[in-house]
Amino acid sequence: MTPEQIADKESVWEWVQRDHPEFTRNHDAGDNYHAVREIICSGSMTWRAANGYFQPMRGSKVMDVGANAGIYSAFCGIHGADVVAYEPFPTVFAMLASMIENTNLTGRVKAINAAVWTFTGEVPYIGHKTPNEDVICYNGGVPTSGVVWTSDDYKRATRVKCVSFADAIGDTDWDCVKMDIEGGEFEVLLATPVDAFKHIKFMYVEFHDWATQAVYDNTIKLLEDVFKCRYYRAEGSTGRYECAYLWRK
């Protein structure tokens, strides 16, 4: 049986306990075994490649942009990486912070309750709590080119802290940046000065298909100008890439 074929919670944890016993149920603060299957067991094509391209080790510098409840942050921290995890959704950030403390990862994983965005300041944000099969998924987003917010959306949004990607990168040389920010990845990348990217050795970016075609096309062009790129696109998809694997030129 491959990780993609695992269909139930206990089978996922049997797989984890066999191959990655260092990762425990306490590290899955959101109780989302589907995400554990994908990330820890490499149970999706996108994550299988990402985990093959980068393996965290002691001293690695990792930035987790859109950390959610911290499954990837925990995995990297367990293996000795120094992780900075950004998560804007207050409900999920509380899970992330609690997990870090309860699993003794405070010396490895630094959690920041902020969105990574096109500037540093504050931005309106809407968080979503959505039942998905037999787990609860926590997601959210800020206004982007492909998502038109109504006046009611702005009224129910909360303002959260945000940090520009350039400020998040700073002068640190990052061994790995993982970015999964629900469609905001395009604007964030396009707004980042090219010189900032030289501090990233490897980056894994998940793409979301609601960005406008022009923004998507401009992002791909930027990435190919700056990085050595590989992509994943599933058969029968919209024709766009689902993610990018990027190496510093």
Q: What is the DSSP string of 28-57?
A: -TT--HHHHHHHTS--SHHHHHHHHH----
Residue 205 has pLDDT above 90, yes or no: yes
Considering only 69-83, 124-138, 151-165, which range has the smallest mean pLDDT? 124-138
Nearest to 41 by CA among 8, 83, 12: 12
**Which run of H or of E encompasses 7?**
none
* Percent of the chain residues past pLDDT 70, beyond the cut: 97
> What mean pLDDT comes out for the span 77-93?
98
**pLDDT of res. 51:** 97
> What mean pLDDT comes out for the span 159-183?
97
Considering only 2-11, 63-72, 85-94, which range has the smallest mean pLDDT? 2-11
Residue 90 has pLDDT above 90, yes or no: yes
| pLDDT class of 131 with cuts at 50, 70, 90 | confident
Residue 1 has pLDDT above 70, yes or no: no
Q: Biggest alpha carbon distance in the chain?
A: 50
Domain ranges of the chain: 44-248
**What average pLDDT does the structure give for the chain?**
95
In DSSP terms, 230 is beta-bridged to 245
Give every CB contact of residue 94 below 8 A, 6+ residues apart in sequence. none
| pLDDT class of 133 with cuts at 50, 70, 90 | confident
Residue 3 has pLDDT above 70, yes or no: no
- 121-132/135-141 β-pairing: antiparallel
CATH class for the region spanning 44-248: alpha beta
* Percent of the chain residues past pLDDT 90, beyond the cut: 89
